[in-house]
Amino acid sequence: MERFKSNGGGEHVNAAYDPTLDEPPVYEDTNLSNGDNRMVRPSVVSAFGHDTLDRLPHIDFYRNAGSVSGHRAVRPSLQELHEVFQKNGAISVPDTVEDDGEGSDGTPSDDVESAAPIDSNKGVVKFGWIRGVLVRCMLNIWGVMLFIRLSWIFGQAGWGLGIVVIALSCVVTTITGLSMSAICTNGVVRGGGAYYLISRSLGPEFGGSIGLIFAFANAVAVAMYVVGFAETVVELLQDHDAIMVDALNDVRIIGCITVVLLLAISVAGMEWEAKAQIVLLVILLVAIVNVFVGTFIPVTSDKKSKGIFNYDSKIFLENFPPDFREGESFFSVFAIFFPAATGILAGANISGDLRDPQAAIPKGTLLAILITGVTYLGVALCVSATVVRDATGRLSDFINDTTGLDCTGSSAQAACELGYNFSSCAVQKCDFGLMNNNQVMTLVSGFGPLIIAGTFSATLSSALASLVSAPKVFQALCKDNIYKVLHFFAKGHGKNNEPIRGYVLTFIISVAFILIGNLNTIAPIISNFFLASYALINFSCFHASYAKSPGWRPAYKYYNMWLSLLGAVLCCIVMFVINWWAALITYAIEIILYIYVIVKKPDVNWGSSKQAVTFVSAVSNALSLSGVEDHVKNFRPQILALTGSARARPALLDLAHSFTKNYGLCITSEVFVGPRSEAREEMNAGMEKNQLWLRTTKRKAFYAAVACEDFREGTETLLQASGLGRMKPNTLMIGFKRNWKTAGAEAVQNYVGILHDAFDFEYGTVMLRMNQGLDVSHIVEAEEEMLRAAKEQQELENEMMPNGGKARGLFRKSRKSSQQVLTTRVSVCGPPPPQVAKMNEKLVEASAQFKTKQPKGTIDVWWLFDDGGLTLLLPYILTTRKKWKDSKLRIFIAGQPGRSELDKEEMKSLLKKFRIKCNDINVIDDIHIQPRSDSVKKLEDMIEPFRLRKDSRDSSQAEAVRKEQPWKITDEELSTFEEKTNLQVRLNELLQEHSKSANLIIVSMPIARKESISDFLYMAWLDVLTKDLPPTLLIRGNHKSVLTFYS
C-alpha cells in the first residue's frame, strides 16, 4: 500500500489503493518514436504512455463490499489525485473510502454478479433458464385446474367467453412478466424473488410487508396442493374400499406423509429437487399429450353415452355460447380459473440459485406463460369440440333410428343429431358432460390412469415449488433484518446456503393447515396474497419509470410504464373479483405491516424509486413555489441556527425546532475555521454524522456546514447561500456570546459583524441567552471519549474472559447516554474537579430545558419596537406547541404617562385583529426614568476595560491609541448614546421586576448603527439588558410585516 505522512507526522496507511494495482511502482525505460526514452509504469503505459495514478474503467471498481463474485477494487479518490502532484508525491489526506456493506445487519451483502464464473470446485448448484425458470413456472401453472376444472369452466362460459377468461388471465400474467423482466434486468438480482424485486424498487416498507405475506402464502400453498393430492388419493381408496380411518383423517395422514417426503427432497439440496421436478414434468407432459391423443381415438358406445364423441362441428358450435348455471357468472368462473395462472414467480423465487437471473427470469417466465396459455387453450378447445355439456351415461338413451327425427328446440341438440337423447338432463341433473363430471379429461384421454398420474404430478410439483420458494423468500427477508425478531431464520447451511430453518418453519405451517383439512376458506386469501405481489411488481416498474431516475436502465426494453400501471390496476380488480372480503383482509394485513416497518425505520438504503419520486416531487414543488410571490399570510419562520455541531447547543436547536417543527425550514449550521484543507476534512467527516444525529433524535432540521478562514466570512456565506428558491432561511438564530469580555477584539468584531450582516441581508434576528450558557460541546466530546474508552475496555475484557463472558466492570453502563455520563467530563486521567462537575451538571440541565414539557407559567413578550410583528409571532407560535401549551402570553408595551389605558385598549384591538388571544397586557409608562445608580455602576465596570480615556493623555497620544485600537469605546460615544445606554439598564431593572419568574422572556432587540456604535458598547448593551434573567430571547424582525388582519 502507498503510505504517506499524516498531519500529525505519523505514518498513515491509505486504503484507497489496491496493492495488486499500484505496488510496487516499478519503472522501466521505453523508447519513443522520436528516439527519446521515458521512465514509465508498465501497468499503464499501454493505455496512456506515461505515469498516472488514474485507473482505467473496470468492473471491480463498481462491486459492492463483500462481493463473492470478484475482488472489489477501490479507485484513488479525487483528493488523492488532486493533492499528489501539489505536494511532490507526498499524499497527506486521510482514508477516503470505507467498505460499508449494503446489508442492514451490518454484514456485507452477497454480490452475485452474473458475469462471474462459478467455481465448480465449491460444489455450488446454479441453474440455467430452462431448469431454473421455465420448468418451474410451467409446473406451477399447470395445476389440477388443467385436468379437473377446465372442462367445467368451458361448459359454464362456453368456449367463446372461455377464451376470454384464459386470455384475460394471460394478459395479467404477461404484463406482470414484462414488468418483472424490466426490474430484474436493471441490475444484479440476488436471492429473494418477488420480495427482492419489490423491496429494491419500492423500498423496505412495501418489500417488507409483501415479503412476509408472500412467504406465508407459499407456505400455505404447500398445504393446499398437498391436500389436493391427498383428496385424489383418498378418492381412489374409496373406489377400491381401502379407506384407513375415514375420508377426512385419511386426507390428513396422506398429506402429512407427503409433506415429509417433499421436505426430504428439498433439504437434500436444490439438485435433487430439480431432478424431482424434471420427473414430474415428464409425467405431466405425457398426461397432456394423452388428452390430445384421446380426442382422435374412435370412441366407444359407453363414452358416447357419457357425452364424449370425436371432433364434431355441431358440438363445437353448441358449446360456443355461455350457459351459466347455479348462480355462476363470468366473474365467478374467472375467479375460479385465475389462481391456476399464479405460478409465474416460481422461477424468480429461487433467483439466488440461478446462474444468470437477469437473462433467465425474463426468458423463462414469459416463455412459460406462452406455453401454458396455449396448452390451456388447446386442451379446452379440444374438449369443447368433443364433449357435450350434459349426458346421462345411459346406453338406453341411444336412438337407433334417427330418420325423420326433429332435434330442433332440444336442450341437447348436438347429441340428438348424433343419435343420443339427453333431453332428460334439462329436467333433472345428470352425472356426465362438461357441466357435471370433473373426470371428463380422464374419459377423453387415451389412457385414463395417465390423467390421474398427471394430477398427482401437477399437485406435487406445485407443492414442491412452493416448499422451496417460501424458505428462500423468507430467508432473504430475514437477512435484510427488517423484522429483527425473525433474524434467526437468516442463517443458511451448506454450499448452497440452504435455509434449513426456513424449511422447518414452512413444514410446520404446512402440516398445521393440512390438519385443518378444509382449505376452501383460506384459499381466496392465499390467491389474493399472490395477486398483491403481482400488483406491486407492476407498480414497482411503473414507479421506477415514472421517477425517471438515471439509475433506471433496464436491459429488457419491451415494457411500458402505463402498461405496468394497467397491470397493477387489473391485479387489484381481480383481487376483488375473486373474493372481496379476502381482498380487504389482504390490504389490511399489508397496511399494518407497512406501518410497522415505517415506525421501526430499518437502517437500509437500497436506492428505491420512492426516494427518486420524492426527490422529483421536491424539486417540482420547489420550482412551483419559486414562481409564487411571498405573501404575508403564508409567512412562517425559516430559521438558520448557528449551533455549531448539531449536538453542541441543544437549547438553541430545541427552541428553533419549536418554532419550525414540521411546518417550516430549520437549518442547524456550523462554520469550520482554519486552513481550508484541514477544515474541509473535519467538515466532510461530520456532515453525515450530524445529519444522522438529527434524524435519530427526531429533530426535523437540516445540517449545513462551511469551511472558511474566518468565522464571519463563513456565516456570511451561510446567510447568502443557504436554502433553495423560496425554501430559504429568513431568520437568523444565534446564541449570546457570554465570553465577549475575554474573547478579544477580533472575536467580538466578528460576532457583532454577523449581526450587522444579518440586518444587511434583511434577516430577522433572534438571540438566545441563558445564564448557564449554551455550549455543551466539551461535554459531548467527553461523552464520546468515555464511550470509546468503554468500548476498548469491553473488548479487552472480552478477550481476557473465557467463553466470551460478559464483563461487569466500570464501563458497563457507559453504553447509554445517561445524566451521569453527560455531567462528568471524562479523561483517562480521572474525574474533573467537583466545581467543574457541578457547573457541567447545571449546564446539561439547562440545555435540556426546552426538550421537555414546560411548567405552568408565562411567556413574557416585551414588544417595544414595531419590527413587522416577528417579536409577537414567534411567541404565539410557541403557545401552539404541545410543550408550551401551559405557558400563557403576557405582553408588555411602552406607554406614555397618563394614557396607559388608551395604549392598552389600542394593543387589545390590534391583537384582536391579528386573532392572537391575550388578555394580559401591561403598559409600562416609566421606562423613560433614569436607572438606579448601582445599575449604572455595573455597566460602567463592565465597559471599563474597553474605554479609551482622553483626559489622562494629550490629544496626539489619544489619537495614536485610537488608531491602534479603533474598537475602544470613546467618551464622545458614551456621551452621544447615553440615553440609549441608560435605556438598556432601565429595561433590565423592569425585567427583573416584572418577568423574573417567567418561563421565557422575549424582548425587542436594540439595533446598533454601523460605524456609529462600537462593538464592545453594543455587546455591553445586550449583556446588561439580559443579565440575571430567565431564558431570554432578543428578537428583531426585518421590518417587513409578518402579521396581517386581512383575509
Distance CA 711, CA 734 (A): 13
* pLDDT of amino acid 609: 75
Q: Any idea of the CA torsion for 276, 278, 281, 287, to the nearest 10 degrees?
A: -90
Residue 734: which H helix or E strand, with range?
strand 731-735
Better pLDDT: 122 or 17? 122
615-to-21, 197, 548, 550, 1021 alpha-carbon distances in Å: 38, 21, 11, 13, 46
Residue scoring higher pLDDT (397 or 953): 397
CA distance 812 to 826: 15
Calpha distance 269→493 (Å, rounded): 10
Cα–Cα distance, 396 to 389 (Å, whole number): 19
* pLDDT value of position 209: 84
* Ordered DSSP codes for 763-800: -EEEEEE-TT-S--HHHHHHHHHHHHHHHHHHHHHHHH
Q: Under 8 Å CB-to-CB from 669, ≥6 apart: which residues?
A: 640, 641, 642, 643, 703, 704, 705, 706, 715, 718, 722
DSSP 463-484: HHHHHHHHHHHHHHHHHTTSSG
- Residues 165 and 381: their CA atoms lie apart, in Å, by 13
CA 320 vs. chain centroid, Å, equals 51
Q: E strands of 899-1008, at which residues?
A: 921-924, 947-948, 969-970, 1000-1004
Quote the pLDDT of residue 464: 85
DSSP string covering 1-26, please?
Answer: --EEE-TTSSEEE-TTS-HHHH-S--
Rounded CA gap, 1020 and 943, in Å? 7
Distance (Å, rounded) from C-alpha 1019 to C-alpha 769? 13
For residue range 427-455, list pLDDT tens digits in order: 788 888 888 887 888 888 888 888 888 88
Cell reading at 796:
479487552
| Residues in CB range of 491: below 8 A, 6 or more apart | 499, 501
pLDDT recorded at residue 824: 43
The answer for residues whose C-beta is within 8 angstroms of residue 241's C-beta and 6 or more apart is none
Give the span between the Cα atoms of 784 and 712, in whole angstroms.
29
Identity of the amino acid at 1022: L
* Model pLDDT, residue 890: 93
Q: What is the pLDDT of residue 874?
A: 92
Tell me, rounded to whole angstroms, the distance of Cα 246 from its chain centroid. 52
Among 412, 380, 389, 413, residue whose Cα is nearest residue 325: 389
| pLDDT for the residue numbered 818 | 42
For 215-224, 404-413, 557-566, 889-898, which range has the lowest pLDDT when averaged over its residues?
Answer: 404-413
Contacts of 595 (CB under 8 A, 6+ apart): none
Sequence letter at residue 657: H
- Taking Cα atoms as reference points, which of 974, 993, 991, 994 lies closest to residue 982? 974
Pick from 773, 769, 777, 787: nearest CA to 647? 777
Cell of residue 223, nine digits: 398445504
Pairing of strands 887-894, 857-862: parallel
SS3 1028: coil
Distance between first and last Cα of the chain: 70
pLDDT digits (tens, 9 = 90+) for 751-784: 999 999 999 999 999 999 998 888 888 888 888 7
Choice between 161 and 191, residue whose per-residue pLDDT is larger: 161
In the structure grid, which three cell numbers stand for residue 108, read together? 456485507
What integer is the mean pLDDT of 1018-1032?
Answer: 92
Q: How many CB atoms lie within 10 A of CB 976?
A: 13
pTM: 0.71
Q: Considering the chain, what is the average pLDDT of its residues?
A: 79
Within 13 A of 1014's CA, how many CA atoms are on the CB side?
Answer: 22
CA separation, residue 649 to residues 387, 560, 711, 772 (Å): 85, 52, 17, 12
* Higher pLDDT among residues 348 and 41, named by residue: 348
CB-based contacts of 598, cutoff 8 Å, min separation 6: 205
pLDDT score, position 140:
84
Distance CA 564, CA 895 (A): 70
Is the pLDDT reported for residue 466 higher than 60? Answer: yes
Rounded to an integer, what distance in angstroms lies between the CA atom of residue 525 and that of residue 588?
12
Residue 992's CB is within 10 A of a number of other CB atoms, namely: 13
CA 222-242-445 angle, to 5 degrees, is: 65
Q: What pLDDT score does 70 carry? A: 59
Task: Report the run of H or E that residue 622 belongs to, with start and end.
Answer: helix 609-626
Sign of torsion, CA 973 978 983 985?
positive
Beta bridge partners of 1034: 767, 1003
- Rounded to the nearest 5°, which phi and psi values hold at 668? -95, 125
560 grid coordinates: 411500458
Half-sphere exposure (CA, 13 Å, Cβ side) for 995? 31
Distance CA 1004, CA 101 (A): 53
Tell me the DSSP string of 961-980: HHHH-TTSEEHHHHHHTHHH
CB 913 within 8 A of CB 1045: yes
pLDDT tops 70 at residue 731: yes
Residue 562 pLDDT exceeds 90: yes
Instruction: Check: CB of residue 918 under 8 Å from CB of residue 948.
Output: no
Residue type, 481: N
Question: For residues 655 and 850, is the Cβ–Cβ distance under 8 A?
Answer: yes
Residues 179-236: tens digit of each pLDDT: 988 888 887 777 777 788 888 888 888 888 888 888 888 888 888 888 888 888 888 8
Tell me how far apart the alpha carbons of residues 340 and 144 are, in angstroms, rounded to a whole number.
8
pLDDT in tens, 599-652: 877 777 777 777 888 888 888 888 888 878 888 888 889 999 999 888 889 899
pLDDT over 50 (residue 120): no
Separation of alpha carbons 285 and 966, rounded Å: 100
Amino acid at 437: N
Length of the chain counted residue by residue:
1047
Confidence at 18, pLDDT banded by 50, 70, 90: very low
Distances (CA, A) of 944 to 236, 438, 941: 110, 107, 5
Residue 30 has pLDDT above 60, yes or no: no
| The residue type at 550 | P
| Residue recorded with cell 417579536 | 871
* Of 185-194, 466-475, 568-577, highest mean pLDDT: 568-577
Instruction: Report, as an integer, the average pLDDT of 341-349.
Output: 82
CA dist list (Å): 455 to 142, 143, 145, 258, 969 = 10, 7, 9, 15, 102
Identify which of 677, 99, 18 has the alpha carbon closest to the alpha carbon of residue 2: 18
Torsion sign across C-alpha atoms 880, 884, 890, 892:
negative
Query: Which residues have a Cβ under 8 Å from the Cβ of 603 and sit 6 or more positions away?
Result: 104
pLDDT at residue 1035 is higher than 90 = yes
253-265 pLDDT, tens digit each: 888 999 999 888 8
DSSP string covering 240-290: TT--SS-HHHHHHHHHHHHHHHHHHHHHT-HHHHHHHHHHHHHHHHHHHHH
